[in-house]
Amino acid sequence: MTKLAVRNPRTGEADYYITPPSSEELSNSCRALRNAQDEWQQLGVNGRADVMQKWKTAIECRKEEIIAELVKDTGRHSETILEFNSIPAMIDRWCNLAPEILKAEDRITSSIPFLQIEGEYKPYSLVGVISPWNFPLLLSLIDAIPALLAGSAVIIKPSEFTPRFIEPLLETIADVPVLQGVLNVVTGAGETGRDIVNEVDLVAFTGSVKTGRLVGEACSKRFIPVSLELGGKDAAIVLKSADLDRATSAILWGSVANSGQSCLSIERTYVEDEVFDDFVELLVQKAKKLQLAHPNVEDGHIGPIITKMQANTIQQQLMDAADKGAIIHCGGEIEEHSGGLWCLPTVLTDVDHEMKIMVEETFGPVLPIMRVKDERQAVEFANNTNFGLGGAVFAGTEEKAIEVASQLEAGAISINDAALTAIMYEGEKNSFKFSGLGGSRMGSASIKRFIRKKAFLINTGVKDPWWYDV
């Protein structure tokens, strides 16, 4: 297999190389994982939780190395600390939840009194996790951890743009030999992703709608389930009764954290006419205070745009908006510093749905704000999209905000806050429209994506009245 060069987002230099496995090597690796899975399943959920706790310790022991590589992968520091810290917490959460969710169900009597039912869970043998570059560690493990606890073996392929953290992560897996049998992380790009889809029994994919569609089609041809977590264009709605100080702070964070490179970023905001000017003034004031994390990675607030391709998309959308009459209040373009590509928080007004920036995923620290005459119009515009991941509503009361939120065609709506799915994984939700397919990744039910349920239908001894009387 040929070597792939990896670009450093802070310098623009190719300073790391990966050699993805050949199809045959990948196939051998999948076979080994599959062979080890039965023993893993036989450990029982409590046994698996003990192993996962050992892995958590191994991850914590290599905290500095993992963080250092993730910082090189992404060019940002503060979000990396949050990203790393979410992992031990996630392992603990699933170790606590899984035994209760997966415990054997009591035998029940059916509607035919002499027939009883006992249930059993059977995990999918091998789960393939394919993940994007915006939160490389978190999005590689968010599905892998519950899948492992469910009893599956797992193969993970992180994005080819952010593969440096794989080396120290593999070392943590090697520290726990039982886990090493059932968990592998491989490097590679789309070709390796395609090979994984051809090998596994279930795919948990996070990425763009474009690739998600290809993965979904390939899975349907193989008749295997797929969980698709795709792109978004989350809208925030600000009603005239909202606390504007709160709304501007939350929307700013929800739009520019991780330089806007989050599926759940607020990508457009609709504000009621009466408070529009005050909202924009306050937002611009706050946005102008944020600085690039440059030259020192620990400085400022806004890291580089991780991929060159994404920087091009942002630049093109900004140019398209400006050409069509948008007013740019701050930021406004991709800047090059020391070879990296950066974008300061960019607030735009005089925008409409003819502009790409209001309808296509931007994945940058960009806040287009549109004036609406009332909440009905706000809801109409917010729903005028192919995406349906999440959103946010700000109003004077929670009741009012929830009333508006219930009209939005999206899965996770933050109430008087923004982008809360970034930090809270307990709220069960589905993606609407092109933002995804499959069971909820959030909430305790998410682990059930990795198991099939069997039913033992037990005749307790009575001769069935419907048998032939012969």
186 counts as binding ligand NAD under rule CB under 6 A = no
206 counts as binding ligand NAD under rule CB under 6 A = yes
Residue nearest to ligand NAD (CB): 193
Q: Which residues pair with 453 in a beta bridge?
A: 121
What is the closest distance, in whole angstroms, from the C-beta atom of residue 215 to ligand NAD in the complex? 5
Omega before residue 295 within 30° of 0, cis: yes
Structure tokens at 14: 């190719």
21 counts as binding ligand NAD under rule CB under 6 A = no
Measured between alpha carbons, how far is 202 from 60 in angstroms, rounded to an integer? 29
The alpha carbon dihedral of 39, 43, 44, 49 has a sign of negative
Measured between alpha carbons, how far is 155 from 145 in angstroms, rounded to an integer? 11
Closest C-alpha among 414, 369, 351, 409 to residue 272: 369
> Using an 8 Å Cβ cutoff, are 28 and 134 in contact?
no
What region does 462 belong to: left with phi over 0, alpha with psi -120 to 50, or beta? Answer: beta
Looking at the Cβ atoms of 194 and 288, the one nearer to ligand NAD is 194
Q: Quick one: which of 131, 172, 444, 446 contacts ligand NAD (CB under 6 A)?
A: 131
> DSSP per residue over 158-173, as a string?
--TTS-TTHHHHHHHH
134 counts as binding ligand NAD under rule CB under 6 A = yes
User: Catalytic site residues?
Assistant: 229, 263
Measured between alpha carbons, how far is 435 from 234 in angstroms, rounded to an integer? 10
Measured between alpha carbons, how far is 240 from 256 in angstroms, rounded to an integer? 23
193 counts as binding ligand NAD under rule CB under 6 A = yes
Looking at the Cβ atoms of 119 and 190, the one nearer to ligand NAD is 190
Looking at the Cβ atoms of 73 and 375, the one nearer to ligand NAD is 73
- What is the CA angle 54-59-65, rounded to 5? 155
- Three-state SS at 397: coil
Stretch of 48-56, 129-137, 236-244, 320-328 lying at the interface with ligand NAD (CB under 6 A): 129-137
| Residues in contact with 80: Cβ distance below 8 Å, sequence separation at least 6, in sequence order | 67, 70, 71, 74
- Which positions from 231 through 260 interact with ligand NAD, judged by CB under 6 A? 231-232
Stretch of 5-13, 191-199, 288-296, 377-385 lying at the interface with ligand NAD (CB under 6 A): 191-199
What region does 438 belong to: left with phi over 0, alpha with psi -120 to 50, or beta? Answer: left
Closest C-alpha among 186, 213, 133, 255 to residue 22: 186
Q: Quick one: which of 8, 29, 53, 208 contacts ligand NAD (CB under 6 A)?
A: 208
Q: Quick one: which of 86, 140, 159, 184 contacts ligand NAD (CB under 6 A)?
A: 159
- Taking the CB of residue 384, how many other CB atoms lie within 10 A of it? 12
What is the closest distance, in whole angstroms, from the C-beta atom of residue 419 to ligand NAD in the complex? 12
What is the closest distance, in whole angstroms, from the C-beta atom of residue 436 to ligand NAD in the complex? 6
187 counts as binding ligand NAD under rule CB under 6 A = no
Q: Quick one: which of 126, 141, 154, 215 contacts ligand NAD (CB under 6 A)?
A: 215
73 counts as binding ligand NAD under rule CB under 6 A = no
Looking at the Cβ atoms of 159 and 248, the one nearer to ligand NAD is 159
Structure tokens at 17: 């190389």
86 counts as binding ligand NAD under rule CB under 6 A = no
What is the closest distance, in whole angstroms, from the C-beta atom of residue 130 to ligand NAD in the complex? 5
What is the closest distance, in whole angstroms, from the C-beta atom of residue 133 to ligand NAD in the complex? 5
214 counts as binding ligand NAD under rule CB under 6 A = yes
The alpha carbon dihedral of 348, 349, 352, 353 has a sign of positive
Site string (372-411) toward ligand NAD, x via CB under 6 A: -----------------x----------------------
Looking at the Cβ atoms of 248 and 446, the one nearer to ligand NAD is 446
What is the closest distance, in whole angstroms, from the C-beta atom of residue 387 to ligand NAD in the complex? 9
- Which positions from 270 through 289 interact with ligand NAD, judged by CB under 6 A? none
68 counts as binding ligand NAD under rule CB under 6 A = no
Give Cα separations from 145 to 4, 52, 60, 201, 408 (angstroms).
Answer: 28, 8, 15, 17, 31
Looking at the Cβ atoms of 284 and 442, the one nearer to ligand NAD is 442
- Taking the CB of residue 466, how many other CB atoms lie within 10 A of it? 4
Q: Quick one: which of 4, 126, 155, 263 contacts ligand NAD (CB under 6 A)?
A: 263
Looking at the Cβ atoms of 248 and 440, the one nearer to ligand NAD is 440
Looking at the Cβ atoms of 389 and 451, the one nearer to ligand NAD is 389
Residues that bind ligand NAD (CB under 6 A): 130-134, 139, 157, 159-160, 189-190, 193-194, 197, 206-208, 211, 214-215, 229-232, 263, 361, 389, 436
